A = this chain, B = another copy of it.
Amino acid sequence: MCQGFKASGIHAKIKKKNAKDLGLIVSDVPAAVAGVFTKNQIKAAPVLLDMERIQSGVCCAVIANSGNANCCTGEQGIKDAVRMAKAAADKLGVAEEMVLVSSTGVIGQFLPIEKIESNIPQLFDALSSDGFVDFAESIMTTDTIPKKISRVVEVAGKSFAITGVAKGAGMIRPDMATMLSYVCTDVEADSSTLHELLTDAVNLSFNRITIDGDTSTNDTVLILANGKSGASLNDAAVKKAFKTALEEMLIELAKMVVKDGEGVTKLVEIKINGAASDEDAEKMADTVAHSPLVKTAFFGEDANWGRIIAALGRSGVSLNPDAIDISFNDIMLIKNGLWCGADAEEEATKVMKLDEFEVVIDVHLGNGSSSCWTCDFSIDYVKINADYRS
């Protein structure tokens, strides 16, 4: 259990349906904080506010809502975000700058701030050290399951805990992936070290997943460290163990986000090997991972490798068409740019029926490699996104 943190999630009637839509995370003591935010130039009001407030490096609480993104809401939006944070800060008895705020949902409607303010007492009443699943539920939009994982790490005679939650669903792509993710840890840390470790971990996880290639205006990943465990990142062994745990947990959360993407039936890892550079490999992996034709073939469980080849060919990376191998898990379907035959295709098609599999592509140009996680493009993706606002 992550010491000194409590969380909650309640229904404040921001969403029409009866589902949790307002959440709170509180640290008993001021925590070191770091964050990474959407690179979309259109940033929601809470993102703009958090980017400013996080400069102080400390934070006592995060308040978040779903059902409304408070984005493209102009000055009124900023005022509402400030009011939302202030409502929590007042109740907590701390300066309003010590509270961060997130919103997710429909863009362009004003936040129903009175509903949030009037539900502050219930939100605080619900706080519990077991409240992270409730919090994770409160930030869901078209997600179907709350995403929360915890880990206790023992190292050098000490132990610390990390708890992470995330929400995703649509608008997921590299250069910010998860719309919202929060990590709480009782390790002792300064905010600049936290920022460095968080950035590295996000680059390995949330920035390597894609659902539909769109990037949200509200993407936010925050990490809070309150030092309650007594284990400190100043201890090299603790720092190393923390870094590893954080990366593994964010990768796990990122994969949970893809698997719970809108209409997703399959989680597919695209691995590129043998590229001239890691950058080239990343470009190829991203192009394959984003191709609607590749993704609909995944949905159709069709080992349509021609679409993969075509995506590689337009990725902007120099290729030798006669030196491309493609495998589905350990079934090699293409060797030196040519089809390995009907038997191989039959086996590859079996692989595609799995919930999770990998497509391994070797372009035989060098030692560069990269991988990313993608998903299939299903009929339900279209249904969900055609109907989302109605």
Q: Is the CB of B300 within 8 A of A42?
A: no
Q: Is A293 an interface residue (CB 8 A)?
A: yes
Q: Is the CB of A296 within 8 A of B381?
A: yes
Q: Is A390 an interface residue (CB 8 A)?
A: yes
Copies in the complex: 2
Q: Is the CB of A74 within 8 A of B387?
A: no
Q: Is A121 an interface residue (CB 8 A)?
A: no
Chain A: interface secondary structure? Answer: loop
Chain A 281-310 interface 0/1 with B at a Cβ cutoff of 8 Å (1 = within): 000000000111100110110101111011
- Number of A interface residues in the complex (CB < 8 A): 62
Known contacts A297-B386, A313-B217, A383-B379; is-contact A319 B72 (Cβ 8 Å): no
Task: Report the Cα distance A381→B386, complex, angstroms.
Answer: 13
Q: Is the CB of A337 within 8 A of B74?
A: yes
Q: Which residues of B contact A293 (CB under 8 A)?
A: 170-171, 212, 214, 385
Query: Which residues of chain A from 295 to 348 have any CB-CB distance to chain B below 8 Å in the complex?
Result: 296-297, 299-300, 302, 304-307, 309-314, 318-319, 321-322, 334, 337-339
Q: Is the CB of A310 within 8 A of B215?
A: yes
Spot the interface stretch: A103-111, A183-191, A226-234, A364-372.
A103-111
What are 7 pairs between A and B in contact, CB < 8 Å?
A41-B312, A72-B339, A108-B305, A212-B293, A214-B291, A214-B293, A217-B310
